[in-house]
Amino acid sequence: MKKVSRRGFVERLGLGLGASLLVPAFEAYAAKKAPLYAGKKLRVALCGLGRYANLVREGLAASQYCQLAGIVTGTPAKAAQWRSAYGIPEKNVYSYQNFDTILANKSIDVVYITLPNALHKAFTLRAAKAGKHVIVEKPMALTEQDCQQMIAACQRAGVQLAVGYRLHYEPNHLELKRLGQEKVFGPVRLIEASLGYRLADISPEDWHLKKALAGGGPLMNLGVYCVQSSRYVLGEEPVAVSAQFGPVTLPDLFKEVEESITWQLYFPSGALCTSTATATCNIDRFFASADNGFFELSPGLSYGPFKGRSSQGAFNFPVINQQAAQVDGIAPFLLDNKPLPAHISGEEGRKDLRVLDGIYQAARSGEKITLR
């Protein structure tokens, strides 16, 4: 597969080589601006056509290596609307019932699952059995054990499994990762990473509030970004966790899942990460304190636009379409039949669920938990 040279893309962006982080996914996204790729595109079927599916659809439209080729939906009206709006042939439209017949469809390469969290596992298993690669939204599943079963099923079926971690392809986050892992300001000792939205206007029937469908509250939907950022900035896996549930200020909504949760992750180097995921208030920030300086993003973990600063001054990379960068970061591996890098594969999702399982266990027990 032909790719744009690193120097070429930098020149088109008008950036000096030294001024950029030059990350492959960003390269792929930037290259999109000049339509240089004319090879076979990755043909994606979106499964579950809700709010986030619409952002992924826009990302696919802006991507270089992918195209929206099919849909899986339980709502016939949506099927008709998407078919006519995005030119999807009838043979590439599936319901949740007949989804397994996608096995025979040679014009779909990958199923991208944007269903409620609890359905990620079942649809990953079905897609894998049908011989399709899978991209599954975060959180990958409800438990680490579910993730292990999903990884095993994809391995057995000979298909690849990626998790929809859009921030892994986002230039400000790649800068955080570089500053932390390369110890640019010395070893990082403390991270504060929190994400929250005041959720007062949500319907009490929304699946995010139902334990059986969401698996939990803000920890599952937002906290996963805090856990992720601490892990990829430190380049380490936490060994212990303590956690506390926060107060319930919206009792009509938060009957089944937590409204907020605060936790502390302890890393082998001695670094500590403290985080809150909450539906009580708005917060969106990442801060790392190292021996010789600090670095932060605020806004930091949402959709952005992100604003970065370190003890050496501001850093702000271009605002990108995060979904386009993500699918273009994944697609070249699937098109070339090469293994996905571990940090964007199902294994990464499993590592996060290991930590999320531990956070819930610690909050419920009130004990500091050692992570296996």
Active-site residue numbers?
A: 138, 225
Which ranges constitute the DSSP H helices of 182-223?
Answer: 211-214, 218
How many other C-beta atoms are found inside a 10 Å radius of the C-beta of residue 285?
Answer: 17
Phi, psi of 230, deg, nearest 5: -65, -40
For residues 185 to 204, the per-residue mask of contacts with ligand NAD, x marking binding by CB under 6 A and - elsewhere, is --------------------
Q: Using DSSP bridges, classify how beta strands 260-266 and 308-310 pair: parallel, antiparallel or unpaired.
A: unpaired
Residue 60 binding ligand NAD, by CB under 6 A: no
Contact pattern from residue 295 through residue 334 relative to ligand NAD, giving x for each residue in contact according to CB under 6 A and a dash for the rest: ----------------------------------------
Question: Which C-beta is closer to ligand NAD: that of 221 or that of 262?
Answer: 221
Q: How far apart are CA 273 and CA 184, in angstroms?
A: 18
Contact 316, 307 (CB under 8 A): yes
Binding mask 106-145 for ligand NAD (x = CB under 6 A): --------xxxx-x-----------------xx-------
Residue partners of 107: CB distance under 8 A and separation at least 6: 43, 69, 70, 91, 92
| Residue whose CB is less far from ligand NAD, 135 or 271 | 135
**Residue 172 found at the interface with ligand NAD (CB under 6 A):** no
Instruction: Work out whether 74 is an interface residue with ligand NAD (CB under 6 A).
Output: yes
The binder of ligand NAD chosen from 8, 50, 299, 341 (CB under 6 A) = 50
Tell the smallest beta-carbon distance from residue 73 to ligand NAD (Å).
7
Q: Which stretch binds ligand NAD (CB under 6 A): 50-58, 185-193, 265-273, 274-282?
A: 50-58
Instruction: Return residues touching ligand NAD (CB under 6 A).
Output: 48-53, 74, 114-117, 119, 137-138, 164, 166, 207, 213, 221
